[in-house]
């Protein structure tokens, strides 16, 4: 398939907002008021020579969440995780060297992070999982889908980029360069930044992603603006794009209910189609 012929088939939405609402205040159920990200104990598995810390929420088909640059699994938006966990077995984890996960001294790369994610699924005896990656996590998810296609079912990328050298990603690259060269930063954060800068990207390989894919991006995302997601969707054979009006980078932090609804609608629609 010629990637340039895909664009007319892509489903593109703009979701309108009236502002950054405090969605926590809208939740009144007893279950949510008792929910917190530390309500599930941290567990550990040995993967690629390191101990990875992870948590699980809910039940159902597995949905792996891959955190972005410098983030820890406990910094996911609670509303977002809670909503997803109503229908799925949500698995969060810390990338190596961050949070509860240890480090082996091996040079970081996005390919290594993807191998860690695949190893986590293997250790949990999960043959295949849906995957949601945000920011750097979306880059890791791309490498996971390309290098371990048997491990991945449906894909959701939030604030994705196919390369830090992509047109429009100048602020992202500048930010990563500032972190990589800042001795005041912790070594894992500096090494994560360097791994992103050394990443060869996926643009030419994106047509190899055969998974149903949803790209989420906000109009106010200065690091990975909508044009990058649209360019990626042209390359991925079965891709949809949702552009959220007013959302910033990793918009699930700001509009957790809207992002979770988009993710759930996508996953459930695909399940219905398969059945």
* DSSP state string for 108-139: P-HHHHHHHHHHHHHHTT-S-EEEEEETHHHH
Distance, CA of 216 to CA of 201 (rounded, Å): 19
| HEC profile of 95-113 | CCCCCCCCCCCCCCCHHHH
Q: Tell me the average pLDDT across 196-223.
A: 98
Domain count, the chain: 1
Q: What is the CATH number of the domain that holds 98?
A: 3.40.50.1820
8 A C-beta contact, residue 167 and residue 146? no
Q: Tell me the average pLDDT across 51-56.
A: 98
Choice among 12-16, 37-41, 112-116, 234-238 with the minimum mean pLDDT? 12-16
Which two tokens mark 151? 């491990």
pLDDT digits (tens, 9 = 90+) for 162-173: 999 999 999 999
Q: For a pLDDT cut of 70, what percent of the chain falls above it?
A: 86
Tally Cβ neighbours within 10 Å of residue 64. 28
Q: Domain limits at 223?
A: 3-17+24-274
The pLDDT, as a whole number, for residue 28 is: 40
Distance, CA of 231 to CA of 274 (rounded, Å): 27
8 A C-beta contact, residue 240 and residue 60? no
pLDDT digits (tens, 9 = 90+) for 113-142: 999 999 999 999 999 999 999 999 999 999
CA neighbor of 155 nearest in space, from 237, 248, 273: 237
Distance, CA of 60 to CA of 237 (rounded, Å): 27
Distance, CA of 139 to CA of 61 (rounded, Å): 23
246 burial type by CB count under 10 A (0-12 exposed, 13-18 middle, 19+ buried): middle
């Amino acid at each position: 398939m010629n990637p340039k012929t895909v664009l007319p088939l892509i489903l593109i939405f703009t979701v309108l907002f009236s502002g950054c609402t405090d969605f926590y205040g809208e939740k009144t159920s007893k279950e949510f008021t008792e929910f917190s990200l530390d309500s599930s104990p941290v567990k550990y598995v040995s993967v690629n020579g390191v101990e990875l810390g992870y948590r699980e929420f809910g039940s159902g088909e597995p949905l792996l969440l891959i955190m972005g640059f410098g983030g820890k699994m406990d910094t996911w938006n609670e509303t977002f995780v809670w909503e997803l966990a109503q229908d799925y077995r949500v698995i969060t984890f810390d990338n190596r060297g961050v949070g509860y996960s240890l480090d082996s001294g091996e040079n970081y790369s996005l390919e290594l992070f993807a191998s860690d994610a695949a190893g986590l699924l293997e250790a949990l005896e999960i043959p295949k999982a849906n995957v949601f990656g945000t920011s750097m996590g979306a880059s890791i998810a791309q490498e996971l889908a390309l290098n371990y296609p048997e491990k991945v079912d449906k894909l959701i990328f939030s604030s994705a980029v196919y390369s830090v050298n992509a047109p429009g990603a100048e602020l992202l690259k500048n930010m990563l360069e500032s972190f990589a060269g800042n001795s005041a930063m912790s070594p894992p954060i500096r090494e994560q930044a360097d791994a992103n800068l050394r990443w060869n990207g996926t643009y030419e390989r994106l047509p190899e992603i055969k998974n149903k894919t949803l790209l989420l991006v906000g109009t106010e995302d200065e690091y990975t603006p909508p044009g990058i997601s649209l360019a990626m969707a042209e390359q991925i054979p079965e891709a949809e794009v949702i552009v959220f009006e007013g959302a910033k980078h990793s918009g699930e932090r700001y509009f957790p209910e809207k992002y979770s609804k988009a993710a759930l609608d996508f996953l459930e629609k695909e399940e219905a189609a398969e059945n």
